[in-house]
A and B are shown apart, each in its own frame.
Chain A
């Protein structure tokens, strides 16, 4: 079968799932400016990841580095369906989410380089992107770790509304996870809690068909119908084509609105594909080149580019100009990261505690209280004390 498809019909059926409903066709097309903005984000993430791979080869980036190439439409479409104040939390394949959320390419790249101008001052690295300003509550390296955190973020927004503000739930939390994380106990406990407590959290499974070298069918029961996982916890689910930005956007809009309205959790089986290896050192022997090529034909950027051209929302010249601009932006980010200083040694002992009593110097030297005899007194909450 020649045409790539995410609905389980192709000979390279990586998900084996039930057919995916199509939603975008019946919806009004978003304005041209919005479409161009999304297109730019897709291209930015792709370009960013390509340069990351180069920088990794050049040993500018260390540790584990998981690129997002192929899944760009998921982050861009999901974030587009959110409000800026909605919390977002994700796993270690997090550069795309960070950029879509509004982190600058400079801050993201400098973090990868382990430099002071990184979003976490070079202390977190590729797998741990945090951005308080943009309500990104991390990149989390341990598979599944972010799922209870997602429930917790939603718990706090619900509490904020019901206890602190006397209102109804107004923020929803988006919690991304990989298909591999479906098999962690933490995920199941989080779903049960979310269902039980009516938490406004959406668990988006970026179902790219593989966890490292394990295809979803080898590692996960009911892989053809993941909604059965959510059903056990009384949570509604949706299947969305993650290779098509408009499908992601409209599908997620529905899910987000319902979650916000009803303060109920949701589960999304987002069908997608990662084009590159799991990390930088993965020869991908567990799948065929044929399969990869088939999926590459359904490139989320290609699909969206064609759509906006057909719509007349952009011209070929504008595309060229935009690509040039993005390339320059990412090149600038790399230069910026490269020129940013490495963290000073004193940073090693910063941020271990909030340090209300003075500098922390380690257990071997009891100077933690900065010599103060009495710890500062804490005040009770006052009217108007809000959350983040």
Chain B
């Protein structure tokens, strides 16, 4: 076990980027307000001071332009980290990030890769209304060629970010603004990486598996705690990456518990949650005591009003209801 240090989620991301920038001069950070303002959410705090304006680069509000520019630079061998102030704003850059980055290697017959990380705030929860509350994992997990990472703890954020930067493929790194202030023990040291495609068991249990990723993992933990008092023992799996997807870990857990609830903050239709459900129904048909249950954002645009938004999101109450239903305790 390496030494750890208690830091905020945002600083864990920053430390990962800074360590990788010290290790590899080809790595640079570009985006709106990342340099002089230290990041709209203060994730890149101090990086301009350390690395200077040639490697920490402020841009105009031109997502399509700077995302595409970074992809071009990656084709030539740089390893850019691109910050979207919010993933909601990446939609104006849909063509470069979906049509260029993930297809470059394939279309060029393996000649040109795209070692790039796109990162930023993802998901609803801050009453930002319909345009600013996207959970883009629902959209982007549909696209082959992209790796999608959604950390739920500071330690994972750091380890996964380091892996993302060293990865030779385009990685979409989804942060929750709601978690950025969360503190946690984070390994100190250059080479503590978290591999992609490895789910983590956050809590062991025997009656029902709850699989999730990103911020909702915390709601799952609360739900598991509450359900334990009712005598329902839940196993909480944090998938950490959606592509690659550690379906094997879910399968093993479901063989033990015979029940699965998936908690996914994106919309249900054609989502990572529906993909996991389909794969588990196929792989574990005879092991399941009930069909797979899913908790998603409600199938409507994100509302502004506080009470509506709380109800819109997956929350602890809905997860408890789904688990009770799955385990015939409803």
Contact = CB atoms under 8 A, between A and B. Distances in A.
Contacts of A140: 131
A59 to B, nearest CB: 9
Interface stretch (B58-66, B73-81, B100-108, B209-217): B58-66
B128 interface: yes
Indicate the size class of the contact surface on chain B. Answer: 35 or more
Contact of B61 (A183, A285, A345, A347): A183
Interface string A193-226: 0000000000000000001111000111000000
Contacts of B59: 219
Given A62-B304, A64-B132, A212-B40, 6 more contacts: A63-B128, A123-B305, A142-B89, A142-B91, A219-B59, A343-B307
A123 B33 contact: no
Contacts of B33: 212-214
A184 B129 contact: no
The prevalent SS among residues of B at the interface is loop
B128 A349 contact: no
Contacts of B303: 122-123, 343, 347-348
Interface string B312-327: 1000000000000000
A63 B127 contact: yes
B269 interface: yes
Contacts of A288: none
Interface string A99-129: 0000000000000001100001011111110
A312 interface: no
Most buried by A among B88, B132, B267, B305: B305
A343 B60 contact: no
A268 interface: no
A185 B92 contact: yes
A276 B32 CA distance: 20
B304 to A, nearest CB: 3
Indicate the size class of the contact surface on chain A. Answer: 35 or more
B61 A348 contact: no
A143 interface: yes
Contact of A185 (B32, B65, B267, B298): B65
Interface string B94-132: 000000000000000000000000000000001111111
A62 B300 contact: no
B58 A214 contact: yes
B32 A212 contact: yes
Contacts, number: 136
B62 A183 contact: yes
Nearest to A125: B304
B129 A63 contact: yes
B37 interface: yes
B311 interface: yes
25 contacts: A63-B126, A63-B129, A120-B304, A122-B305, A123-B305, A124-B130, A125-B128, A141-B128, A142-B92, A143-B61, A144-B61, A180-B61, A183-B60, A183-B61, A184-B61, A185-B64, A212-B37, A213-B36, A214-B32, A348-B303, A349-B298, A363-B268, A363-B269, A363-B299, A364-B299
B306 interface: yes
Nearest to B66: A183
B130 A115 contact: no
A186 B60 CA distance: 14
B310 to A, nearest CB: 10
B301 interface: yes
Given A142-B92, A286-B36, A286-B37, A114 B130 contact: no
A63 B178 CA distance: 12
